[in-house]
């Protein structure tokens, strides 16, 4: 479906450009095809091309939507503003009979506007991506702890009565993890790593012994104490 929509978009683009060329050459007599005529033709084609690339989603092969999402709104605003100004300059040039050099100068100013918009959109996208990457790194410890705790689900599905104590402990730990706040503090990351390794050790012992034991319960209690320290010290 996505490929069909994209193909349809390219068809609209090609047909639209063909209509623009046809309209210009049919409506403008040969003797009036001056430099202003070619400038206006090029400007309308550029406006239609740029609008098609954005409104129809024809961003190109190398467009990375996730990386550009942060600046997409800024880019669309500048593109629409440029399109309006470019067409306005054409209309004013026609009614005011402005010379070619003035119209060309104002079109260059309008084109410069879209370059500024592209710069700001790229800057915004880079900032959003950087913040997202940083936040993902901060959340990694919390996610890894939950993944380690979820390992115990394998044991619980075998015999829920045998692992009732451990299951209750794991549920308490999962509830505590919910209140952990992402942080870039190295001491908090060290605690997260210790919690993860302790949980994995408890799971390994429980799996090898095929039964509950004081050592497993003791390790889970240690994780509970570490989580409490982590939550009270580094969480909001």
Residue 139, pLDDT > 70, answer: no
Residue 181, pLDDT > 80, answer: no
Cα separation, 192 vs 108, in Å, equals: 56
Tens digit of each residue's pLDDT (9 = 90 or more) over 57-81: 665 434 444 444 445 566 777 788 8
Residue 124, pLDDT > 80, answer: no
Domain assignments of the chain as residue spans, ordered by start: 2-135, 151-234
pLDDT at 159: 65
pLDDT at 42: 92
Tens digit of each residue's pLDDT (9 = 90 or more) over 43-53: 998 888 888 77
Cα separation, 37 vs 40, in Å, equals: 5
Where residue 104 falls among pLDDT bands split at 50, 70, 90?
very high
Residue 89, pLDDT > 50, answer: yes
Q: What is the DSSP letter of 30?
A: G
pLDDT at 226: 87
Tens digit of each residue's pLDDT (9 = 90 or more) over 15-26: 888 888 888 888
Cα separation, 140 vs 195, in Å, equals: 13
Taking alpha carbons only, the member of 112, 106, 93 closest to residue 34 is 93
Question: What's the predicted TM-score (pTM) here?
Answer: 0.48
Sign of the C-alpha dihedral computed for residues 164, 169, 172 and 174 taken in this order:
negative
Where residue 105 falls among pLDDT bands split at 50, 70, 90?
very high
**Among 7-11, 24-28, 54-58, 195-199, whose mean pLDDT is lowest?**
54-58
Residue 204, pLDDT > 60, answer: yes
Where residue 136 falls among pLDDT bands split at 50, 70, 90?
low
């Amino acid at each position: 479906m996505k490929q069909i929509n994209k193909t349809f978009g390219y068809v609209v683009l090609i047909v639209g450009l063909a209509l623009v060329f046809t309209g210009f050459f049919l409506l403008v007599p040969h003797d009036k095809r001056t430099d202003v005529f070619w400038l206006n033709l090029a400007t309308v084609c550029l406006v239609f091309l740029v609008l098609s690339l954005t409104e129809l989603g024809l961003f190109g092969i190398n467009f990375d939507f996730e990386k550009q999402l942060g600046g997409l709104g800024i880019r669309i605003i500048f593109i629409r503003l440029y399109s309006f100004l470019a067409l306005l300059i054409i209309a004013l040039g026609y009614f005011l009979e402005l010379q070619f050099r003035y119209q060309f100068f104002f079109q260059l100013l309008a084109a410069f506007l879209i370059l500024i918009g592209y710069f700001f959109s790229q800057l915004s996208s880079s900032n959003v991506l950087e913040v997202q990457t940083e936040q993902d790194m901060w959340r990694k410890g919390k996610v890894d702890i939950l993944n380690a705790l979820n390992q115990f689900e394998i044991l619980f599905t075998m015999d829920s009565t045998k692992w009732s104590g451990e299951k209750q402990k794991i549920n308490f730990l999962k509830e505590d993890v919910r209140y952990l706040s992402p942080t870039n503090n190295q001491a908090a990351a060290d605690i997260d790593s210790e919690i993860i390794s302790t949980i994995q050790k408890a799971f390994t012992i429980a799996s090898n012994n095929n039964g509950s034991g004081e050592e497993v319960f003791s390790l889970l209690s240690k994780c509970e104490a570490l989580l409490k320290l982590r939550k009270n010290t580094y969480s909001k």
